Amino acid sequence: MKFSIMVNEGPYQHQSSDSAYQFTKAALEKGHEIFRVFFYHDGVNNATCLTVPPQDDRHVVNRWSELSKKYNLDLVVCIAAAQRRGILDDNEAKRQGKNASNIAEGFRISGLGQLIEAGIQADRLVVFGD
Amino acid sequence: MLHTVNKSPFEKNSLESCLRLSKEGCAVLLFEDAVYGALKGTQLEATVVEALKSKKMYVLLPDIEARGMRAEDVISGVQTVDYAGFVDLVAEKATVQAWL
Amino acid sequence: MDGEGGVIKKFLYVNRKAPYGTIYALESLEVVLIGAAFEQDVSLVFIDDGVYQLKKGQQTTVDSGIGVKDFSKTYRALEGYDVEKLYVDKKSMEMRGLSTSDLNVDVEVLDDAQMADLMAQQDIILSF
């Protein structure tokens, strides 16, 4: 079965990113397809490569990146929500005249249409948030 | 239909609204802080027992255990699932509504 | 924009949070506006504190009041995007001492059973 996942909260502040990760991983291990993981609201903060958690803690951002690499996951960050919260890729940084970008490996920035498409294309949409 | 609730029923009304606005025969999964609603001996127990008469109730065991409780602390009739079981529930039901 | 190869699904947006205190209401509305271009079968429901999103007379701008833009007028513009099915949970409205005359858009008021039916008919539910 084809799932899409929506993540609405940032890493570390709220469990929803952890729950979404565990759900996504379990679905993939069961042989389901994840059409897309869409990050919205503060969920866009899951995509910053500048995170430095304590060494004895999980690395929420890297964990998503690694899952993406292993399963070729499509991790999409909402551009409007990302711009508000300072998550930029190289193109956006250039376009907005900023001197740095901070998107982590495996994530891409795109529009809200990607969320609607994720709903249309998948059999199920599961929302994790606060 | 599957309803997911992730808020403590002692803090938010998500579970209350979920039970009020869901149909007989639906499934309700409690996870994250909502797992406190699945425990024996709380003020919520009667509400959950009543809901069990017409709805299937599930609770995510890793969230129960993380918070210092065990499967035997869960109200009888509420089924425990792991993340794989959560995935199965989503796959079995046609839609999912998250009571954020 | 075409509905992705002609597929039309029932999309329900569930709004349960008050405006301004958190950004959920505003960013939910942004999804609705973008989503309208996909020509899906869209409904919006307002439950619990979500009914406050539709309260008439919201007064704030970037330069006055709380310094945040009043986005409540956008709900009135939804009709222009062919988003016309707006539903309010009767009990949530009554609990808050509100009636439809306090709201700035036309809505249909649903009782518990009607709301449960509406939710059960959907394909995709986006919750905020």
pLDDT tens digit sequence for B24-44: 999 999 999 999 999 999 999
Protein fold of A2-128 = Hypothetical Protein Ychn; Chain: A, (3.40.1260)
Q: Any CB–CB contact under 8 A between A128 and chain B?
A: yes
Check whether C2 has a pLDDT greater than 80: no
Greatest CA span in chain C, whole angstroms? 46
Q: Which residues pair with A109 in a beta bridge?
A: A77
- Is A18 strand, coil or helix? helix
The answer to whether residues A125 and C124 touch, using CB atoms and an 8 Å cutoff, is yes
Place of tokens 């990146």: A65
The answer to whether residues B79 and B52 touch, using CB atoms and an 8 Å cutoff, is no
Exposed/middle/buried for A26, CB within 10 Å: 0-12, 13-18, 19+?
Answer: middle
Q: In CATH, which superfamily holds the domain spanning B2-99?
A: DsrEFH-like (3.40.1260.10)
Q: Would you give the distance in Å from CA B99 to the centre of its chain?
A: 11
Q: Measured between beta carbons, which residues in chain C are less than 8 angstroms from residue B1?
A: 119-120
Q: Any CB–CB contact under 8 A between B82 and chain A?
A: yes
Give the closest of C48, C112, C116 to B13, CB-based. C48
Interface touch A112/C34, C-beta < 8 Å? yes
State whether the Cα torsion C42-C45-C49-C55 is positive or negative: positive
Residue A60: both structure tokens together? 């929420």
- List of domains in chain C: 10-127 (3.40.1260.10)
Q: How far apart are CA A71 and CA C113, in angstroms?
A: 42
Domain-wise residue ranges, chain B: 2-99
Is ipTM > 0.85 here?
Answer: yes
Indicate which residues of A carry an active-site annotation: 78
- Is C109 strand, coil or helix? strand
> Please, which pLDDT band fits residue C6 given cuts at 50, 70 and 90?
confident
Listed residue (C118, C14, C36, C23) closest to C84, CA to CA: C36
Domain-wise residue ranges, chain A: 2-128
What is the mean predicted confidence (pLDDT) over A21-31? 98
Check whether B62 has a pLDDT greater than 80: yes
Q: Any CB–CB contact under 8 A between A16 and chain B?
A: yes
